[in-house]
Amino acid sequence: MNPITIRKATISDLETIQKISKQTFIETFAGVNTPENMENYALKNFNSEQLALEINNPESAFYLAILDSETIAYLKINFGSAQTEIRSIQAMEIQRIYVLKKFHGKKIGQLLLNKAIQIGQQSGVDSIWLGVWEKNFKAIQFYSNNDFVEFDKHDFNMGNELQTDLLMELPIINQANNL
């Protein structure tokens, strides 16, 4: 496999982000949710207007993973008021690591997580947190293996079904503090 490059996304990447969002969401969750709930979630969260707001938000950033000129995954991080829940102004949220299913098992998620941790260290946050569906055991194991620890839970509405996300956190030792 050729090397994967990671670059920050811009508004010109909107269609690519939208395509990966929808495809990855369906690949991951269609088997355990109703088609109506899946469609409604995608319409609300992955429409062009919503994604444009997220891409243009100065407190959010998207990073694309590219292999042989094909975008195969992305990372979305949030700072400050862009966080889906304000855990702390000094925290950074990983809102999404979306990897196309045909690239699972190739360490793409790990590359994007490492990028997020590097950004967190360089930006001076004291922790990185995320929410992961309590029944997404593979993702929970992945984050646990990377030293994320569960600290809370919150409700997540998937259409007309109430689900639970585990909130996990990784304390960050800032590079600036180690000088």
Give residue-wise pLDDT tens across range 31-57. 888 999 999 999 999 999 999 999 999
For the beta carbon of residue 169, count every other beta carbon within 10 angstroms.
20
* Strands ordered across the beta sheet of 60-67: 5-8, 60-67, 70-79, 91-99, 127-133, 161-171, 149-158
What's the whole-model pTM score? 0.92
Instruction: Give the pLDDT confidence of 116-159 residue by residue, as tens digits.
Output: 999 999 999 999 999 999 999 999 999 999 999 999 998 888 87
Q: How many residues does the chain have?
A: 179
Is 74 among the residues known to form the active site?
no
Q: Is the dihedral of CA 45, 48, 54, 55 positive or negative?
A: positive
Q: Which of 63, 74, 98, 143 is catalytic?
A: 143
Output the pLDDT for position 179.
Answer: 42
Output the pLDDT for position 160.
Answer: 81
Output the pLDDT for position 173.
Answer: 76
Asked whether residue 176 carries a pLDDT value surpassing 90, the answer given is no
Instruction: Give the pLDDT confidence of 65-121 residue by residue, as tens digits.
Output: 999 999 999 999 999 999 998 878 899 999 999 999 999 999 999 999 999 999 999
Output the pLDDT for position 175.
Answer: 52
Please tell me which residue, 71 or 174, carries the higher pLDDT value. 71
Query: Which of 120, 131, 139 lies closest to 24, judged by CA?
Result: 139
**Mean model confidence pLDDT for the chain:** 92
Give me the phi and psi of 15, to 5 degrees please. -65, -40
Q: Does the domain spanning 5-178 belong to CATH 3.40.630.30?
A: yes
